[in-house]
Amino acid sequence: MSRLQGKVALITGAGSNPGLGYSIALRFAEEGARLAISDINEETLRLCETAIRKIGAEVIAFRQDVTSEPGWAQAMDAILSKFGRFDVLVNNAGIAIQKPIEELTLADYERQMSVNMTSVFLGTRAAIPHLRKAGGGSIVNISSIAGLVGIPGVSAYSTSKGGVRLFSKTIAIECARDQIRCNSLHPGIIETNIQKGSLTDNPEQYQAIKASVPLGRMGSPLDVANCVVFLASDEASYVTGTELVVDGGWSSM
């Protein structure tokens, strides 16, 4: 398979497995991309790097704090030094602070915004000059259904993810003439280790969560990764400034 053959891509937050960044990185490798992967957890990141090498793809891996402006400059330097070009940025790294508003501290709020929103700004700004030199490219910013509809207990998270959505639309307009596409992707309830834990800890809640999804199941990281492959590929050459919702119909209710 070669939908991303020869494209050079950076995927942030690629260390967690099962996780979105990990799955996206492997799917990119399967589609022929040359990869840079980063995470703040270097130990888990190396496991992703090993899995990519087993597929046979070129990869570099480095620790990255996505809230650090100098760190983004270093990431771009490492990619260009290794591959000589840059084509795709997937801003995936993020955290979720889940507290009702009365319990949410200013430090919580600022941390949530820094990791989920400021990092997307920093990464996008750092990438654009290099995408322009390549003659265009794709930026995929991972948002959430919480960036589309209100969900109790995640006010700061929703704010950050809603910001990612509208930031992506603005960048799409600003960069369209340079053939740089920018889209946001909005996962719903995805089956991760945290969700799997509830199967043991609270089987009734687990079944209730699954039943709340019109398609009758939680999504897998692969469901999300396949959609990111599409947005990064030339198949999506006329797709920019949009949000792609991957939630089994949940937000349509």
Once rounded to an integer, what is the mean pLDDT over residues 63-70?
A: 98
The one catalytic residue in 22, 109, 157, 206 is 157
pLDDT, position 2: 92
Once rounded to an integer, what is the mean pLDDT over residues 206-234?
A: 92
pLDDT at 221 over 60: yes
| Least confident window among 68-72, 104-108, 192-196, 249-253 | 192-196
Share of residues in the chain with pLDDT > 90 (%): 89
pLDDT, position 243: 97
Once rounded to an integer, what is the mean pLDDT over residues 100-121?
A: 97
pLDDT at 200 over 60: no
pLDDT at 188 over 80: yes
Banded pLDDT at 79 (limits 50, 70, 90) = very high
Chain segment 1-19, per-residue pLDDT in tens:
799 999 999 999 999 999 9
Quote the mean pLDDT of the chain.
Answer: 94
How far is Cα 213 from Cα 198, in angstroms, rounded to an integer? 16
pLDDT at 197 over 80: no
pLDDT at 223 over 60: yes
Banded pLDDT at 58 (limits 50, 70, 90) = very high
pLDDT at 68 over 60: yes
pLDDT at 52 over 90: yes
Three state DSSP letters for the chain: CCCCCCCEEEEECCCCCCCHHHHHHHHHHHCCCEEEEEECCHHHHHHHHHHHHHHCCCEEEEECCCCCHHHHHHHHHHHHHHHCCCCEEEECCCCCCCECHHHCCHHHHHHHHHHHHHHHHHHHHHHHHHHHHCCCEEEEEECCHHHCCCCCCEHHHHHHHHHHHHHHHHHHHHHHHHCEEEEEEEECCECCHHHHHHHHHCHHHHHHHHHCCCCCCCECHHHHHHHHHHHHCHHHCCCCCCEEEECCCHHHC
pLDDT, position 249: 96
Domains belonging to the chain, first-starting first, are 8-191+222-252 (3.40.50.720)
Once rounded to an integer, what is the mean pLDDT over residues 141-168?
A: 96
Active site residue 206: no
pLDDT, position 251: 94
Banded pLDDT at 199 (limits 50, 70, 90) = low
pLDDT at 81 over 70: yes
pLDDT, position 207: 76
pLDDT at 201 over 70: no
